[in-house]
Amino acid sequence: MKEGRRFALLVICLIVVSSLPASAQKGSKDIAIEEALMDARKVSNQLAEKIRGLLLQEIDEGGFSSAVRVCSELAQEMTLQFNAEAGHHVRRISLKYRNPKNVPDAYEQRRLEEFNILNQKKELSNEYSEVVEEQGKKYLRYLKPLIVAPLCITCHGSKENIPQEVKNILAERYPDDRATGFLVGDVRGAITVKILVTEGKR
């Protein structure tokens, strides 16, 4: 008889919990983190696709020398536009950067170094996210690894194989260029997103 009552009480408790709104079943902070993660995925994918589309268009219309302009100028303008529209901090980063604006911060550098190790072990995921505390505030740090494709080698491969016209443009615009010597399959860098996480609306 007692076991029957216990079972009945358990059923009632489950019904009550399942009928509660999501915000009551799950902490608002957890929901904020999930929303931030969805935002980070969305904006990183959009930025990657937008830059890739422009890059292919420039290569088709003006060759690889024209494509350098996409990476050096338009990509930065597009990144700033994404920051303004999304209200988040998003940019491209690399350990072997071409544009000084793509230098990673200390956190991002550690992650990129880990990506290189994981990539060598064939264990690299297509995204990495973590909630960290910085100066008393919690942020979602999201990184989407960028892998070197065959198309990238013309501008980012060994210096011996980079066309002279591309070399000339790089030497003019980026005398301290570090973004060469990559092989297909290497980690080129990452798209990084940083979002402030607060309970309720951000």
Amino acid at position 81, single letter: Q
* Confidence label for 23 from pLDDT (cuts 50, 70 and 90): very low
Which of 2-6, 63-67, 193-197 bottoms out in mean pLDDT, i.e. has the lowest?
2-6
Q: Mean of the per-residue pLDDT values for the chain?
A: 81
Q: Which pLDDT score is estimated for 15?
A: 32
Length of the chain: 202
pTM: 0.78
CA atoms within 13 A on the CB side of 144: 19
Q: What is the pLDDT of residues 38-95, one digit of tens each?
A: 999 988 898 888 888 878 887 888 787 777 766 766 777 777 776 776 667 889 999 9
Beta strands in the chain (DSSP E): 89-93, 128-134, 137-147, 187-196
